[in-house]
Amino acid sequence: MSLLEKRVAIVSGAGSGLGRAASLAFAREGALVALLGRRRSKLEETASLILQQTGQETLIIPTDITDERQIDSAVQQAVQQWGAVHVLLNNAAVMEQGTVLELTTEEWQSQVATNLTGPFLLTKAVLPTMRAAKYGRIINITSAHSWNGSGGFAAYSAAQAGLESLTRTLADEEYEYGILVNLYNPGTLRTEMHATGKDPTVVTPDLIRLASLPLGGPTGTIVSYG
């Protein structure tokens, strides 16, 4: 039996990079995948690849993860289609330069909205169905910026640190409901955000493992590639 057989997974930022690679990997392991992202054309490309490689249909849900109404609607669509949500991969992110002195309030808020508030809103939206099922696996993509900081990336680093704290808080709050919440640091990947780095497919086995952790598995941890 595949590791994610009949599990329902929501992946944000599913149109490219790690989100696309993870969506494909989850589908290969039997998951039903809801693809979230701002660009419908990119989501359709991911869905086409999944159909070609696995024969599985997906849900394409164009979603701005900074908009709570769009997020609530996306989760409702997944639940209406498949009855539950078992796995959430908070992958969507933006990484833009700017020191504390340089950043405008709008630039700061924009990055925090995507990198921290978005995962909060998506998690909040899936928790009721996960609690009802007494099962959930939530993976938040992070980076070394969450604990090291990085000069010139003030908003991104601060949001990543916030996401780390949010993950540990959720792990504490949701453990009794069978929900495990962990961080994953893939290192530098070759994506639209980075011209160099590892191919995203090399880290997907780690994501599958976190998405299929057994009852009582680790929670509130940071797992790093390699």
Q: Name the residues annotated as catalytic.
A: 156
Q: How many CB atoms lie within 10 A of CB 217?
A: 13
| Two structure tokens written together for 15 | 């149109």
Provide the b/e sequence for 128-164 (b: ≥16 CB within 10 Å): ebbeebebbbbbbbbbebbeeeeeebbbbbbbbbbbb
Long-range Cβ contacts of 170-173 (<8 Å, 24+ apart)? 170/123, 170/138, 171/219, 171/220, 172/220
Counts for the chain of helices (H) and strands (E), in that order: 8, 7
Q: Which two tokens stand for residue 73?
A: 């609607």
DSSP 3-state assignment of 119? helix
Distance CA 206, CA 189 (A): 14
Per DSSP, the residues of 30-62 read: T-EEEEEES-HHHHHHHHHHHHHHH----EEEE
Token pair of 171 as six digits: 């792990």
Q: How many residues does the chain have?
A: 226
